[in-house]
């Protein structure tokens, strides 16, 4: 193995942000697209928790968390401002309420979907106010906070797109559109067939 191997699932927001970071950092990997109901044996051997993304480095190191892959991929110029506070909020309460809004019937005794949607909206309103002051969340350049949060805001938006598009959050809409139409996002979303052992490698980045 001469390049890292990335086990990924195209539509997973955690995998999206890992792929964006790898592209931004100029790091080439062998991409192995996973179908979650049919996880590869090798992936389960190196990461028994069975979630994506998983990055296997040439020295045998396994990086199992998307944020850790981002931090491994990006240099310090992308770690500016209060990026960690944004990501902690996204990966905590934002994701908690997003899941219960989008997949309400999977949980025991959740609030009504609209109540969970309201909690997410509070985050989006804060983002919109921040984006009134700067082009991106932590300044005039796109950094780790933007790439880490955008896939989850996208997932929320796509749950009820017409409702989301009518929200009075012009700065948030501009920000999300700028990321979703960027080359790095479009490149990270190219479709690939499910990887099987013995397939020719697909190099990404």
CATH code for position 157: 1.20.1050.10
Residues 13 and 63 in one domain: yes
Residues 144 and 167 in one domain: yes
| pLDDT averaged over 10-residue windows placed end to end, the chain, 205 residues | 94 98 98 95 96 98 98 98 98 97 89 95 98 98 98 98 98 98 98 95 95
Contacts 24+ apart (CB under 8 A), 192-199: 192/10, 192/31, 192/33, 193/33, 194/33, 194/34, 194/35, 194/38, 195/31, 195/32, 195/33, 195/34, 195/40, 196/40, 197/40, 197/41, 197/42
Looking at residue 138, its pLDDT comes to: 98
Residues 64 and 141 in one domain: no
Residues 111 and 81 in one domain: yes
Which residue range is the domain that position 191 belongs to?
5-75+186-204
Residues 99 and 113 in one domain: yes
- Total domains in the chain come to 2
Looking at residue 110, its pLDDT comes to: 78
Looking at residue 139, its pLDDT comes to: 98
Residues 100 and 44 in one domain: no
Looking at residue 108, its pLDDT comes to: 86
Residues 71 and 94 in one domain: no
CATH code (residue 193): 3.40.30.10
Count the neighbouring beta carbons within 10 Å of the beta carbon of residue 7.
27
Residues 197 and 114 in one domain: no
């Amino acid at each position: 193995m001469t390049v890292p191997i990335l086990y990924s699932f195209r539509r997973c927001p955690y995998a999206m942000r890992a792929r964006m970071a790898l592209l931004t950092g100029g790091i080439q990997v062998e991409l192995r697209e996973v179908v979650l109901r049919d996880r590869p044996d090798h992936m389960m051997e190196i990461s028994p928790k069975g979630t994506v993304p998983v990055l296997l480095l040439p020295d045998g190191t396994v990086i199992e968390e998307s944020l850790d892959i981002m931090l491994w991929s990006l240099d310090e110029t992308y770690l500016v401002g209060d990026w960690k506070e944004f990501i902690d909020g996204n990966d905590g309460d934002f994701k908690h309420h997003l899941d219960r809004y989008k997949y309400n019937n999977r949980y025991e005794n959740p609030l009504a979907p609209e109540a969970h949607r309201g909690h997410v909206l509070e985050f989006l309103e804060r983002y919109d106010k921040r984006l009134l002051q700067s082009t991106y969340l932590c300044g005039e350049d796109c950094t780790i906070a933007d790439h880490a949060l955008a896939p989850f805001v996208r997932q929320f938006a796509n749950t009820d797109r017409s409702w989301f598009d009518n929200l009075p959050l012009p700065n948030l809409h501009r920000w999300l559109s700028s990321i979703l139409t960027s080359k790095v996002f479009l490149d990270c979303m190219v479709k690939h067939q499910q990887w099987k052992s013995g397939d020719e490698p697909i190099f990404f980045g």
